Amino acid sequence: MTATAPVRSPQRSTTAKKRSKRWLRLVIPPVAVLVLMLLGTVVYQWEQPDLDDADYLGPASHAGVGAADLADRVRAAGVQIIPERKSADALVAASSGSATLLITTPQLVHRFYLRMLKLLPPSTRVVIIEPDAAVITDGLLPMVGTARSYVARTTAPGCDYAPAVRAGAAEVVRTRYGPLDESLGREVARCYADSLIVYQRPGSAPVTVVGSADPFRNDRGDERGNAELTTALLTGAPRLVWLDLHRREPPPGVTNDPGLAGAPEAPASLRPVDPENPGETDFPIPGPGSTARPPARGDVNSDDGDQEQEQPPQPPNPLWSAFPPWTYVVTAMLALGVIMLAVAMARRLGAPVVEPLPVVVRSSETALGRGRLYQRARARAESLQVLRDSAIVRLTRLLRLDADVTRGVLIEAVTASSGWPPPVVDQTLFGPPPATDADLVAAAVRLEQLVNAVTTEQPGTTPATQPNTAAPVEGDPR
């Protein structure tokens, strides 16, 4: 039969449309999950207070994340609040004893200052709010391991620690802490499902670690026993040194400034010592032949050229700190989504692009090559469908039918023109795919006979009832 360009039949077009949407089954589920993850991450990060916010747990802030209500309760209990903006000043103020040192943002405190907590006297109490794993490691705190939840939850104390017993259930459980390293501290109390830890070194100040900042905030202080717990933790001494720090501190230095002679006396280990008595090694600020100690007040480096100072760490790249941390998470997820979409779209390269042949190829060679490809792939159904599509296009044009003619109308028109019975016409144009090569050859012969019957207008010419079982010849499309 005459070779014509393959044109999709209505049934074939519907099948192609269904197949063209299969990629959505792979793309939509991961994209939906990715969107939910991004939305949840953005909402979660949006609701988290920033440590560098001046209102965060500030004793004078009436914002939701502030702590003015807590400060009022502490003052009502007869405790004097001493706000400090530097860790060095707060340590000096608390080193005289009979005081409580509150550290609201331990993530911003330099690790040397955190290690100095062991130098405070036993009459001083220390309260640290929600230190993370980095703070525990850098500050040499005795807890081993942490586990942080997305939100804080309320639970009963579960211990006999007096402030916790008086407060009852409180919203403390967010960051949970592992067991204590006995070489760094002795456990005094463990409450609220491992979220409130009290430990003490021999001859040092007791330290209370609270696993959530929510009980200290204005907008959460009136829930459950939050107010009672936080007030009890901060009113055990006549003075409360409130470290209100909202910037990351540089490392402490060593100073011999005589102007500090009138300042409050700091513990001996907080000042440079005799080179022959190096003492502690937790603060590696070397002096001439010894380990020097941080200053009594301020963060002043020495101008003495003969004294070797610790080189401060290189400042981080300002580009990383120019954006909030959640932006990098969102960017990484978006990049992952683009990669997944590209992989899904690459499954279908689209329709073939028509391009002019570089050389002229004989039509017989083209038909022979295409037939061998179909034969090698055993694409009997596809081969017959190509022939049927071509025949339907020719019959539609010969009978002057619409391009989107229905199956029933086409069969009726072909029957009237060819004289073939309707079941035979339907079997020839829309029958099942062939099972063998012989069935393919027979179906192709019947299809050519039907087209010839309509073309020559010879009603009464009927096809053979039995399929042609002749062996397929080389070059026939299969």
Please tell me whether the overall predicted TM-score, pTM, comes out greater than 0.75 for this model. Answer: no
Quote the pLDDT of residue 76. Answer: 93
User: Which residues are paired to 164 by β-bridges?
Assistant: none
Domain ranges across the chain: 10-22+361-456, 68-249
Cα–Cα dist 216/69, whole Å: 9
CA geometry: angle at 367 spanning 365 and 370, to 5°? 105
> Please, what is the average pLDDT of the chain?
77
Quote the pLDDT of residue 252. Answer: 73
Instruction: Count the Cβ atoms, other than its own, within 10 Å of residue 416.
Output: 13
Residue 89, amino acid: D
If you average pLDDT over residues 436-452, what whole number do you get?
89
Match 């032949």 to its residue by tokens: 289
CA atoms within 13 A on the CB side of 48: 17
Cα–Cα dist 52/147, whole Å: 23
Higher model confidence: residue 307 or residue 80? Answer: 80
Tell me: the pLDDT tens digits for 327-336? 788 888 888 8
Scored b (16 or more CB within 10 A) or e, 31-56 reads eeebeeebeeeeeeeeeeeebeeebb
Phi, psi (degrees; rounded to nearest 5) at 311: -70, 125
DSSP state of 218: T
Instruction: Count the Cβ atoms, other than its own, within 10 Å of residue 419.
Output: 16
User: Which residues are paired to 243 by β-bridges?
Assistant: 84, 103
- Say which range, 120-129, 199-208, 293-302, has the weakest mean pLDDT: 293-302
Tokens encoding 239: 């003075």
Cα–Cα dist 113/117, whole Å: 7
Quote the pLDDT of residue 289. Answer: 42
- Say which range, 15-24, 121-130, 464-473, has the weakest mean pLDDT: 464-473
In this structure, are residues 392 and 429 in contact, taking their beta carbons and an 8 Å threshold? yes
Quote the pLDDT of residue 470. Answer: 37
Tell me: the pLDDT tens digits for 29-48? 888 888 887 777 666 666 67
Phi, psi (degrees; rounded to nearest 5) at 369: -65, -40
Q: CA end-to-end span of the chain, whole Å?
A: 15
Higher model confidence: residue 126 or residue 371? Answer: 126
Tell me: the pLDDT tens digits for 235-255? 989 999 999 998 888 877 655
Mark out the alpha helices in 317-399 (DSSP H runs): 318-321, 325-345, 363-377, 380-398
Tell me: the pLDDT tens digits for 90-144? 998 998 889 999 999 999 998 888 988 988 999 999 999 999 988 998 888 988 8
**Which residues contact residue 381 at a Cβ distance below 8 angstroms, ignoring those fewer than 6 apart?**
433, 434
Quick one: the chain helix, strand, coil %, rounded to 5?
40, 15, 45
Cα–Cα dist 270/442, whole Å: 101
- Residues of the chain above pLDDT 70, percent: 73
Quote the pLDDT of residue 119. Answer: 87
Quote the pLDDT of residue 182. Answer: 85
Cα–Cα dist 139/405, whole Å: 81
Most confident of 12-21, 375-384, 423-432: 423-432
In this structure, are residues 234 and 102 in contact, taking their beta carbons and an 8 Å threshold? yes
Residue 249, amino acid: E
Residue 335, amino acid: A
Tell me: the pLDDT tens digits for 168-188? 999 999 899 999 988 888 899
pLDDT band for position 266 (cuts 50, 70, 90): very low
Quote the pLDDT of residue 386. Answer: 87
- Say which range, 183-192, 258-267, 338-347, 408-417, has the weakest mean pLDDT: 258-267
DSSP state of 393: H
Tokens encoding 395: 């019959």
Tokens encoding 333: 């997820």
Quote the pLDDT of residue 369. Answer: 83
pLDDT band for position 275 (cuts 50, 70, 90): low
